[in-house]
Amino acid sequence: MTTSPAPFYKDIATAPEGVECLWLHTKDGTRIRLAIWGAGKKGTIFLMPGRTEYIEKYGKSVHNYIDAGYSVVVIDWRGQGLADRDTPLHGVGHVDNFVQFQDDLDTALEVINERALPQPMFLIGHSMGGAIGLRALHRLDVFKAAVFSGPMWGITMKPALRPIAWALGIGSEAIGKSKWLAPGYSEESYTTSAEFKDNLLTGDPEMFTFLKDQLAAYPALSLGGPSVGWGYEGLRECKKLAALPAPKQPSLTVYGEKEGIVVIDAIIDQVAKWPNGSLKMYENGNHETMMEVAAIREDFFAHSIAFFDANS
């Protein structure tokens, strides 16, 4: 595959040295971004970010896996980070179908194979990346084990709004308006607009400021609310995944007690049918386990590394 160098904002990432950041083009011509830390020998961890996220956000997290002897790759999915955005408004997150995220993943895996990164392969899926990662386990025999953090196996919304979201999604596709901003959302990033005391992401004020400062330094990384089409396709994908049996690969799933972005019951239900899946809840934890207070994030990194070591 033809690749070319892509920007990596090391000044805000606080990431390990030795990163290779690349532009890739998917089969439909969409340009996505991939960061590779390829020196680890124990295996390769594919870190799959959530909606609105970008590679640099995980710079601090990557240190933990590099220090443990793993190689790590992180992706900018289409529609966010520096990847191509298929909407007239930069702040609106859109995808025509969640299958397109699997195309992004396949493109990245092609490059990983070409570079012969160390085996075995593992995945960490956070939030929307958890839905993408779960789908990948069902369709690919690539990943030996998986860790999920606050996975999007159900989307939190008021019960009265759920049928409206389905109807808007179907209707917007019919009239070609699926790229419109979903009602109730803004083009401004939640991280930028939220105040710490009310935020749903983290209980760590320093980490919250760190994330705000990243977007202030590079506004191009910022992403606001989802499109009507993204909301509809997200609901559809969660419903489809819930109807499937558990994948064969072992898994470790964590979520925060104060989770307010994805549906906790959907997480519990998914793991309950997973014979070799385990579940851990963090007291007082919010949505962003890897950006939480030090005690939570350190415990998460220790448990996930031990899990990957045990499944190598």
| Annotation: CATH topology of 4-310 | Rossmann fold (3.40.50)
Task: Quote the pTM value.
Answer: 0.96
pLDDT digits (tens, 9 = 90+) for 218-269: 999 999 999 999 999 999 999 999 999 999 999 999 999 999 999 999 999 9
The pLDDT of residue 258 is: 98
199 φ, ψ (degrees, to nearest 5): -75, 155
pLDDT digits (tens, 9 = 90+) for 99-116: 999 999 999 999 999 999
Q: Residues 179-198: what's their mean pLDDT?
A: 94
The pLDDT of residue 178 is: 87
Strand 31-37 to 44-48 pairing: unpaired
Per-residue pLDDT band for 24 (boundaries 50, 70, 90) equals: very high
| Alpha carbons 224 and 192: distance in angstroms, whole number | 9
The pLDDT of residue 175 is: 59
**Which positions ≥6 away from 91 have C-beta within 8 Å?**
181, 186, 187, 188, 189, 222, 223, 224, 225
Q: Check whether 88 has a pLDDT greater than 90.
A: no
Strand 31-37 to 19-25 pairing: antiparallel
**Domain spans in the chain, listed from the N-terminal domain onward:** 4-310
pLDDT digits (tens, 9 = 90+) for 126-145: 999 999 999 999 999 999 99
The pLDDT of residue 167 is: 62
The pLDDT of residue 161 is: 55
